[in-house]
Amino acid sequence: MTTTEAIDLIELMYSTGWSDGLPLVPPTEDKVRRFVDCTGRPADEVVASIPPLGGKATVERIAANAVMAGCLPEYMPVVMAAIEAAMDDRLNIRGVQCSTGIHSPLVIVNGPVARKLDINGGYNCFGQGWRANATIGRAVKLVLVNLGGSVPGDADKSTFGHPGKFSFCVAESEAANPWEPLHVEHGFRPEDSTVAVYACEAPHNIMYHAGEPRDFLMVLADTMSTLGNVQMYVMGETLVVLGPEHARMLHQDGWRKRDIRQFLFEHARQPVARLKHGGPPQGDGRRALLWPKFVDPEDDAQMVPVVRRAEDIHLIVAGGAGGPHSACLPGWGSRMAMRKITAPGG
């Protein structure tokens, strides 16, 4: 293929509407076949019908989108598992695809595959510079848009969106995690490789330079429960990403994950009176039903938690080791879905 022919193909893919706005790798028959072979599954096997338009995501079509995203063939088992997880009813991908909200599916990878494929969970883990993160996340989004029809301004009604709608993939830094990693908490073995998909906003940075664990958690709780945070109105689950420095500080002070969750559940709250600045309780009367039963929406003094249960706060460890920063990623009102990553041949 000449340079001119390659450029013509890239322009053709723009004109067909396949692109996310960035150039795509031409999905030649040869490349797509190699990607399909890396799954160990038939090319015509239907993996999912992608909402909202119900496009059939065959192994071959997923492979074509992974090629266009710039993936390596060995990334295919991760992409496949992420698509399957995204179809879990708990995530409500149809709602995520069509919402006016800012949210986008985040792919979180755990286990040996994250190290094998060099998926970044360290410095700049939500940023640029890592092929695996950028292309795996992009492949998942291309499948959801190209096969699901979630085109901005058409089915996709997101008022703003965020950069994670291009690509949103991260690994947990299990080496820096002093507790059990996410997948082990969810019943998988440490040696299993898993992918979790969670619909959320972009990371909200939390800076804390002092050394008092309880004060840090108060700062974190305040960031999690700001007015205007959609979770204060629709509940669901939320994700906290502890930087290695903050995780180490908490662990050395004797905090367990369940202690952190309980503290955040008790302190990441707003009174009904303040939440009414956004209109009636939870935006409209019906949504008050989503609050925990112990909250009386007619009592202005009642404190509303950011989630219904402490268990709805997910904790992972990621980020660079040299900075006193953590992050919270507010959810959309749905729940995280997780799948084991299976290599060809099981």
Q: Which pLDDT value is given to residue 7?
A: 73
- Percent of the chain with pLDDT strictly greater than 70: 96
Q: Which pLDDT value is given to residue 344?
A: 79
pLDDT above 70 for 313 = yes
Write down the domain spans for the chain.
1-201+337-346, 203-330
Residues whose CB falls within 8 Å of the CB of residue 143, separated by 6 or more in sequence, listed in order: 50, 57, 61, 62, 65, 79, 83
pLDDT tens, position by position, 184-243: 999 999 999 999 999 999 999 999 999 899 999 999 999 999 988 888 888 899 999 999
pLDDT above 60 for 285 = no
Confidence of residue 297 (pLDDT cuts 50, 70, 90): confident
pLDDT tens, position by position, 114-170: 999 999 999 999 999 999 999 999 999 999 999 999 999 999 999 999 999 999 999
pLDDT above 90 for 311 = yes
